[in-house]
Amino acid sequence: MAITVVSGTGTEIGKTVATAALAAVALAAGRTVAVLKPAQTGIAPGEPGDAAEAARLAGPVTTAELARYPEPLAPETAARRAGLPPVRPPDVAEAAEKLAAGHDLVLVEGAGGLLVRYDGEGATLADAARLLGAPVLVVAGAGLGTLNATALTAEALRARGLVCAGVLVGSWPAGPGLAERCNLADLPAAAGAPLLGAVPHGAGALPPAEFRARAGHWLAPALGGTWDAAEFTARHRPAH
């Protein structure tokens, strides 16, 4: 998977930290990595965005943004309100392919969920993924509501002929409740794709060296790590 699109089931779901974990594991394996953030919203000029945060945690990756909009809104809305040009799927595909020519892995991190609008014609991250022929890794929540959001995202991917690479829990709580424990077993069925990891809540606050050392323990072998979905699910299975 030279290019992988990282999308979420919603906003504030853990995409950036998950992207950083993917990058850290790839770097540890000796691969060269680029992180592309097509549209960065809610960040002022000069402030570090999501791609920079992924690099801070993961290590020496190439970072790229195509556009930055000041208000924390959907990309199309933020671009329109700022009077700035939108980002379009062909722009994303072209940038990702250029990065792929010089890197072993390109991670394209979306904004919010899969079908958030990027331009006035209703183009989405899914359209960029289709142009690239790239698989989409879905970062999902752990608690109530995640099964529906994950199922809807997976259905949208299938309707567009896109491959769901799997589901990654973006923020696994230190003290999971009944819903979180049950969801581990139910997420693969909701997605029609395997569960490929669980990033602990607060992982983004770890010192970068510790983050890099631990990242492989949060990701399944398909993503370059050692995390075991069956073992993790069994360990957290409710007693009754």
Q: Are 62 and 27 in contact (CB under 8 A)?
A: no
Which residues are designated catalytic? 37
User: In which band, very low, low, confident or very high, does the pLDDT at 180 lie, cut at 50, 70 and 90?
Assistant: very high
Q: What is the pTM of this model?
A: 0.95
Mean pLDDT, to the nearest integer, of 155-170? 97
Predicted pLDDT of residue 239: 81
| Whether the predicted pLDDT of 16 surpasses 80 | yes
Could you give the CA distance from residue 65 to residue 212 in angstroms, rounded to a whole number?
Answer: 23
Contacts of 19 (CB under 8 A, 6+ apart): 6, 35, 50, 54, 107, 109
Q: Are 79 and 86 in contact (CB under 8 A)?
A: yes
Q: Are 219 and 21 in contact (CB under 8 A)?
A: yes
Q: Are 139 and 9 in contact (CB under 8 A)?
A: yes
The token pair that represents 98 in the structure block: 């250029």
Mean residue pLDDT of the chain comes to: 96
Predicted pLDDT of residue 44: 85
User: In which band, very low, low, confident or very high, does the pLDDT at 46 lie, cut at 50, 70 and 90?
Assistant: confident
Could you give the CA distance from residue 74 to residue 227 in angstroms, rounded to a whole number?
Answer: 33
Predicted pLDDT of residue 39: 96
Measured over the CA atoms of residue 14, residue 132, residue 23 and residue 155, the dihedral's sign is: positive
Express each pLDDT in 213-234 by its tens digit.
999 999 999 999 999 999 999 9
Predicted pLDDT of residue 35: 98
CA distances (Å), 189 to each of 145, 185, 192, in order? Answer: 14, 8, 5
| Whether the predicted pLDDT of 45 surpasses 70 | yes
Predicted pLDDT of residue 189: 96
Q: Are 195 and 180 in contact (CB under 8 A)?
A: no
Return the domain boundaries, the chain: 3-10+19-235
**Residue of 225, 211, 228 whose CA lies nearest to 29:** 225
Q: In the chain, pLDDT over 90 holds for what percent of residues?
A: 95
Predicted pLDDT of residue 1: 59
Express each pLDDT in 129-153 by its tens digit.
999 999 999 999 999 999 999 999 9
Question: For the domain bounded by 3-10+19-235, which CATH number is listed?
Answer: 3.40.50.300
CA distances (Å), 28 to each of 21, 22, 58, 178, in order? Answer: 11, 10, 9, 35
Beta strands in the chain, from DSSP E residues, in sequence order: 3-8, 33-41, 62-69, 105-113, 136-140, 164-172, 195-200
